[in-house]
């Protein structure tokens, strides 16, 4: 399927206040250019990023989601990112079972000093998402791939 | 077996060890087994035990109206007992004021349910009193993740199509939540409407958000009683979602909910060694 040239991916970035947000800020003050496709949402900590926010972003037609925070050991609240890491490990399994496209959900550690890395990550995600095209979250499934049997479940 | 259960119940109520005994009752043979709340010793004969005792009675401990009946004694199978362990670890029950009557279970259902074939907890381990004979089934002889592994042979787009089809039937009756022994929030996220986090009408998006939330709030906590799947009026196989999280917990962290009373809750703890290969 050809993607219209006008497609601009919508990317939602949930970032922590202390590292990635400042990294993005640094990219700005250093005049590092990165695609304007990203919508940054600042939260206190990656440990605060509820999985429902990711689902909400897809419901509101995001084509990709980025979750980013402090490197391990650097958390402003000492352990928030460790808790987040464990949660995302499990959450990815659930999304995979549900058939979500895991190529649309990105996780990175970006520190307050890594303005350059922010620029690279956003550029890469934008390019990758542009190639993949819009994310048809919960679009009506193609009848040909629907292999559902409606047998009774156990017990 | 049933007689000793009834005698125990009578004794507990007569001595005042418990004010209410939560157990299984059955109006007539062949009728569905239902929970009974025995408060007088002479009612103890209502108690029963057979292979139709599906419900996980632990779910009733979270109800205010049950809590108001006073000190409780509860009949649990080995698998149900795992729920008590999780709840105790999460400070939801006071194990000291609860009398647990454990029943050695040979699996429920006729034929036996899949979960019983791979159950690792036929015999209750921490009950105040353990009744019944040795189990008919060996612990863990079945294929634990069989249903999930078969499902995962589908491609991601087939899986998504499958769930869209399943969730399109969801009525948002929340039976899966009500029956779950692990769902104890006084106010569920889905009932909060300022702002609305999860669409309350049974739209596909709202249904996805609900089922993702339900499953993930049970990550590392679900004991695999499969009650949510059993009570679903439209037959959605929710156990696949629960199993995918339980499997990940076991394979990545060596953690099984409710098996070790000393273990830190999975989501409430962390390790510096957690793998982060997926994080750039």
Q: Would you say residue A149 has pLDDT above 60?
A: no
If you average pLDDT over every residue of chain B, what do you get?
A: 91
Please check whether residue A143 lies inside any domain of the structure.
no
Query: Can you give the pLDDT at residue A150?
Result: 44
Instruction: Look at B216 and A51 and tell me if their CB atoms are within 8 Å.
Output: yes
- pLDDT > 70 fraction of chain B, expressed in percent and rounded: 97
Q: Is B154 on the interface with A (CB under 8 A)?
A: yes
Please check whether residue A144 lies inside any domain of the structure.
no
Residue A146, class by beta-carbon neighbours within 10 Å (0-12 exposed, 13-18 middle, 19+ buried)?
middle
pTM: predicted TM-score of the whole model, two decimal places: 0.89
Please check whether residue A4 lies inside any domain of the structure.
no
Task: Sort out which chain B residues have CB atoms less than 8 A from A72's CB and list them.
Answer: 272, 276
Query: Chains A and B: how many Cβ contacts under 8 Å?
Result: 157
Which of B109-113, B174-178, B249-253 bottoms out in mean pLDDT, i.e. has the lowest? B109-113
| Mean pLDDT computed over B16-31 | 92
**How many domains does chain A fold into?**
1
Query: Can you give the pLDDT at residue A151?
Result: 45
Q: For chain B, what is the radius of gyration of the CA atoms? A: 20
* SS3 call for B16: coil
| Mean pLDDT computed over B155-164 | 93
Backbone φ and ψ for B116, nearest 5 degrees, come out as -75, -30
What is the residue-wise DSSP string for B55-93?
Answer: --GGGGGG-HHHHTT-SEEEEEEHHHHHHHHHHHHTT-S
* Separation in Å, CA of B65 to nearest CA in chain A: 28
- pLDDT > 90 fraction of chain A, expressed in percent and rounded: 82
What is the residue-wise DSSP string for A65-132?
Answer: EEEEEPPTT--TTSSHHHHHHHHHHHHHHHHHHHT--GGGEEEEE--TT-HHHHHHHHHHHHHHHHHH
Write the pLDDT tens digit of every residue in B104-128: 988 888 888 888 888 878 888 899 9
| Mean pLDDT computed over A138-142 | 62
Backbone φ and ψ for B261, nearest 5 degrees, come out as -65, -20
Please check whether residue A106 lies inside any domain of the structure.
yes
- pLDDT tier at B175 (50, 70, 90 boundaries)? very high
Nearest Cα neighbor of A114 from A19, A36, A16 is A19
Write the pLDDT tens digit of every residue in A49-94: 999 999 999 999 999 999 999 999 999 999 999 999 999 999 999 9
Distance separating alpha carbons of residues B220 and B242, to the nearest angstrom? 9
Q: Would you say residue B31 has pLDDT above 80?
A: yes
Q: Note the ipTM here.
A: 0.90
Topology (CATH) of B146-253: Fumarate Reductase Iron-sulfur Protein; Chain B, domain 2 (1.10.1060)
Residue in chain A lying closest to B156 (CA): A99
Q: Would you say residue A4 has pLDDT above 80?
A: no
If you average pLDDT over every residue of chain A, what do you get?
A: 88
| Mean pLDDT computed over B139-157 | 84
Q: Strands (DSSP E) along chain B, which ranges?
A: 20-26, 33-38, 47-48, 72-77, 98-103, 129-131
| Mean pLDDT computed over A4-14 | 88
Backbone φ and ψ for B17, nearest 5 degrees, come out as -60, -35
Please check whether residue A153 lies inside any domain of the structure.
no
Query: Can you give the pLDDT at residue B137?
Result: 61
Ranges of each domain in chain B? 2-131, 146-253
Query: Can you give the pLDDT at residue A1?
Result: 60
For residue A34, what are the domain limits?
A: 11-135
Nearest Cα neighbor of B256 from B212, B213, B222 is B222
Please check whether residue A2 lies inside any domain of the structure.
no
Nearest Cα neighbor of B167 from B199, B194, B192, B189 is B199
Q: Would you say residue A146 has pLDDT above 90?
A: no
Query: Can you give the pLDDT at residue B11?
Result: 95
Q: Which CATH number goes with the domain that contains A20?
A: 3.40.50
* Separation in Å, CA of B226 to nearest CA in chain A: 9
Q: Is B240 on the interface with A (CB under 8 A)?
A: yes
Instruction: Look at B278 and A79 and tell me if their CB atoms are within 8 Å.
Output: no
């Amino acid at each position: 399927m050809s993607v219209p040239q006008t497609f601009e991916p919508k990317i939602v970035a949930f970032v922590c206040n202390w590292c990635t947000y400042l990294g993005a800020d640094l990219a700005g003050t250093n005049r590092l250019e990165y695609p304007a496709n990203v919508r940054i949402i600042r939260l206190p900590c990656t440990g605060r990023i509820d999985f429902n926010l990711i689902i909400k972003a897809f419901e509101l037609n995001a084509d990709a989601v980025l979750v980013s925070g402090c490197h391990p050991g650097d958390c402003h609240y000492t352990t928030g990112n460790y808790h987040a890491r464990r949660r995302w490990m499990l959450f990815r399994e659930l999304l995979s079972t549900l058939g979500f496209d895991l190529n649309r959900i990105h996780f990175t550690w970006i520190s307050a000093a890594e303005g350059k890395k922010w620029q690279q990550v956003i550029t890469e995600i934008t390019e990758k998402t542009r190639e993949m095209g819009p994310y048809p979250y919960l679009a009506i499934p193609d009848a040909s791939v629907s292999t559902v049997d409606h047998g009774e479940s156990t017990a | 077996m049933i007689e000793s259960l009834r005698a125990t119940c009578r004794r507990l109520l007569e001595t005042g060890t418990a004010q209410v005994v939560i157990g299984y009752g059955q109006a007539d043979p062949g009728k569905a087994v239902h929970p009974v709340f025995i408060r007088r010793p002479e009612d103890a004969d209502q108690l029963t035990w057979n292979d139709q005792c599906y419900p996980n009675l632990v779910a009733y401990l979270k109800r205010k109206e049950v809590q108001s009946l006073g000190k409780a004694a509860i009949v649990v199978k080995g698998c149900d007992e795992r729920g008590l362990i999780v709840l105790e670890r999460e400070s939801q029950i006071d194990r000291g004021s609860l009398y647990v009557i454990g029943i050695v279970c040979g699996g429920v259902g006729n034929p036996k349910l899949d979960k019983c074939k791979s159950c690792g907890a036929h015999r209750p381990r921490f009950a105040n009193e353990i009744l019944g004979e040795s189990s008919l089934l060996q612990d863990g002889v079945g294929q634990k993740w069989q249903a999930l592994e078969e499902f995962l042979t589908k491609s991601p787009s087939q899986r998504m199509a499958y769930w869209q089809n399943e969730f399109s039937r969801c009525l948002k009756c929340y039976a899966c939540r009500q029956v779950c022994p692990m769902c104890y929030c006084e106010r569920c996220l889905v009932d909060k409407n300022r702002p609305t986090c999860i669409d309350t009408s049974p739209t596909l998006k709202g249904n996805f958000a609900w089922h993702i939330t339900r499953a993930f709030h049970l990550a590392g906590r679900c004991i695999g009683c499969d009650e949510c799947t059993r009570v679903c009026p439209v037959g959605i196989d929710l156990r696949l979602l629960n199993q995918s999280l339980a499997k990940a917990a076991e394979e990545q962290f060596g953690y099984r909910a409710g098996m070790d009373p000393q273990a830190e809750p999975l989501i409430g703890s962390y390790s510096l060694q957690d793998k982060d290969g997926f994080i750039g």
